Amino acid sequence: MNEMFLLKMGEIVLKGLNRAAFEGKLHSNLSRRLKPYGKFKIRLLQSLVYVEPENDECDLDGAWEACGKVFGIISRSRSRGCEKSLDAIFAACCDYLGDDISMAKSFKVESKRADKRFPMTSIQISQEIGGRLAEAYPEVEVDVHNPDYTVYVEIREEKAFVHGPAEPGAGGLPVGVGGKTALLLSGGIDSPVAGYMMAKRGVELECIHFFSYPYTSERAREKVLDLASIMSRYCGRTTVHVVGFTKIQEAIRDNCPEEYFTLIMRRMMMRISEALAKKLGCMSLTTGESLGQVASQTMQAMMVTNAVCTLPVFRPVIGMDKEEIIVLARKIDTMETSILPYEDCCTVFTPRHPKTRPVLSEIEKAEAKLDIEALVAEAVENTEPVHIHGRR
């Protein structure tokens, strides 16, 4: 039998009557992600997902990497299947794992007997296979407490499987089981991480980006589309809704007190985002705000921003410091793109002395000269959707 993958499901196994819906979404997400790498047979049995290539044309390395980015899987193993007999299991260990065993200083065998009809216990299987491997690889020491390498044997309903140590999966829940959110996606470090964290909880993303040409360049817009493309490896297909924001920022500059520029700009963003979110069937807004990181992210400032919204606003990185966010940005490969020197609209008309403890009534008075309803309607009407289907 050819090499195949064993993927262990995470939180899904704790679900009750709705578990089938979670498993169905996981199956469809895996099918879509693996499609570029060939034809694979995907089966969900008990707590495992079996991913088996249907022919030799499949790109196993590409598929393996893709499986590591599918939410709903907590660990994954590349494995070899064989008949459920000691001779076949030992042969598979030597053929499939022999190189890894021979390079180790010490090893042990760990077995799991999911098929209770098999006539030996897990301990007996480990002892028998471990003894045979010790004879086959006399230069490698047996160490059952702190081995350099562990051989895993799993006796399942259909076959036995052998594999080395498992690798981590993406965790979380399958994208699509938790509703849909509108992510305010800037070109910075924080908002892609916020989107990743929402997708990990099974939430689909609709991305909204505010673009202020000519104050921000076309390269800045392309940078955000590249970020969305990188994120799509985890969150799946998404769309970036590009909102022209120049006219609104100029209106704020010409009609509002300077110290309130950023706060009024944020309130306009939230109004537009909520209008778009409702059109797109989203049940929430998501931002990359971190408490106290900048002047517009104090608790008072966020209260003023929230005041224009009726939808809930999620802030997944609210309690994280910058270093924690950067660690996650590196993990999901958005960091290098985020730090490219193309500024977003948040840097346009930045006040010299921004208000950090604003009062809502003062903000409402400061923005009174704006035709808010008309500006929001025009921005929503002229929004450009850009569909993201994978890495650009």
Asked if residue 19 lies in contact with residue 1, where contact means CB atoms within 8 angstroms, the answer is: no
Q: SS3 for 182-230, per residue?
A: EEECCCCCHHHHHHHHHHHECCEEEEEEEECCCCCCHHHHHHHHHHHHH
Report residues of the chain scoring pLDDT below 50.
391-392
Looking at residue 349, its pLDDT comes to 67
Tens of pLDDT, residue by residue over 308-337, are 999 999 999 999 999 999 999 999 999 999
Looking at residue 391, its pLDDT comes to 42
Looking at residue 345, its pLDDT comes to 64
Cis ω for the linkage preceding 312 (within 30 of 0): no
- Cα dihedral: 90, 94, 100, 101 (round 10): 60
Give CA–CA dist 295/23, Å, rounded. Answer: 43
Side-chain-side CA neighbours of residue 101 (13 Å): 30
Give CA–CA dist 25/178, Å, rounded. Answer: 11
Two tokens, residue 203: 């939430």
Q: Which one-letter DSSP state was computed for residue 318? A: T
Q: Tell me the C-alpha to C-alpha distance, in Å, between residue 253 and each of 161, 257, 270, 350, 358.
A: 66, 8, 18, 10, 18
DSSP letters, 346-386, are GGTT--SS--SS--HHHHHHHTTTS-HHHHHHHHHHT-EEE
Looking at residue 158, its pLDDT comes to 86
Q: Report which of 73, 60, 83, 78 is spatially closest to residue 10, judged by C-alpha positions.
A: 73
Looking at residue 392, its pLDDT comes to 41
Q: Report which of 8, 30, 150 is spatially closest to residue 75, judged by C-alpha positions.
A: 8
Q: Which residues make beta-bridge pairs with 240? A: 207, 386
DSSP letters, 115-174, are -TTSSS-HHHHHHHHHHHHHHH-TTSEE-SSS-SEEEEEEE-SS-EEEE---EEEEESB-
Give CA–CA dist 46/245, Å, rounded. Answer: 50
Give CA–CA dist 248/264, Å, rounded. Answer: 10
Tens of pLDDT, residue by residue over 100-141, are 999 999 999 999 999 999 999 999 999 999 999 999 999 999
Give CA–CA dist 2/55, Å, rounded. Answer: 9
